[in-house]
Amino acid sequence: MAKDRPRLRAPRLETPPRVVLVDPEIPQNTGNIARLAAALQFPLHLVGKLGFSIDEKAVRRAGLDYWPLVELERNLDLAHFRHAHPGAKLRLFSAVAERSYLDARYEPGDALVFGCESVGLPEELLREHAGEVYGIPTIGEVRSLNLANAVSIVVYEAYRQRDAFRHAAPR
């Protein structure tokens, strides 16, 4: 059976990036990102207002059996996140960026910040951190990528740049 076969596993990064979701609205996106957090063992920060519940009953009802594997932190707002993690360099991701996520040089402990599904990150925040705003290029005329897909693309690039998968082996 496939479940008995070894899976390709890599060693854990000593200081993984932090994924920060600001005002996430769609529970399925956050659930997919949480699963990625469990798989790659990075901290997931839910900042601001949530468009859904993450209490034990809601998580159990959604069938998120991996939720206990997620290093989850709730922050009232981005200022509280920054106060709790002053060394984390902010990397903001937006559909209206001028530079590609491939141009970023990801460092240990970076905070990869993504906005809510409907409006993204606040304009004021993007202006305040203009030198650290990145986007994911597209070819078609779509408004933006799905949040969970965007987080996956960026996180895997951050891990790739740090050679996180160089020593992956079946286990």
Q: What residue segments make up the domains of the chain, in order of their start? A: 14-165
- Which pLDDT score is estimated for 129? 97
- Residue 103 sits at the vertex; the CA angle it makes with 99 and 106, to the nearest 5 degrees, is 125
Query: Under CATH, which architecture does the 14-165 domain have?
Result: 3-Layer(aba) Sandwich (3.40)
Q: Residues 85-125: pLDDT tens digits?
A: 999 999 999 999 999 999 999 999 999 999 999 999 999 99
Between the two ends of the chain, the Cα-to-Cα distance in Å is 15
Task: pLDDT band for 11, please (50, 70, 90 cuts).
Answer: very high
* 12: Cα within 13 Å, side-chain hemisphere: 8
Closest by CA position to 114, among listed 82, 79, 153, 147: 147
Per the CB < 8 A criterion, the answer to whether 135 and 96 are in contact is yes
Please count the other Cβ atoms lying within 10 Å of the Cβ belonging to residue 24.
23
Q: Residues 35-48: pLDDT tens digits?
A: 999 999 999 999 99
Task: pLDDT band for 56, please (50, 70, 90 cuts).
Answer: confident
The pTM assigned to this predicted structure is 0.94
